[in-house]
Amino acid sequence: MADEKKTVKKEDTSKAAKKTNIFKRIGKAIAKFFKDLKGETKKIVWPGRQMVIKSTGIVLAAILVIGAGIWILDFAVSGAITAVNRAANETEAVSTTEAAGENDKEDSHEGHDHGSDEEETESTTAA
110 vs 98: CA distance, rounded Å: 18
**Do 47 and 55 touch, CB atoms closer than 8 A?**
yes
**Do 77 and 85 touch, CB atoms closer than 8 A?**
no
13 vs 5: CA distance, rounded Å: 13
Sign of the four-CA dihedral 91, 95, 100, 105:
positive
| pLDDT of amino acid 7 | 53
| pLDDT of amino acid 41 | 94
| pLDDT of amino acid 31 | 95
Q: How far is CA 120 from the centre of its chain?
A: 71
> How would you write the pLDDT of the chain (127 residues) with one tens digit per residue?
455 555 555 555 566 666 678 888 999 999 999 999 999 999 999 999 999 999 999 999 999 999 999 999 999 999 999 999 999 998 887 777 776 666 666 555 555 555 555 555 555 555 4
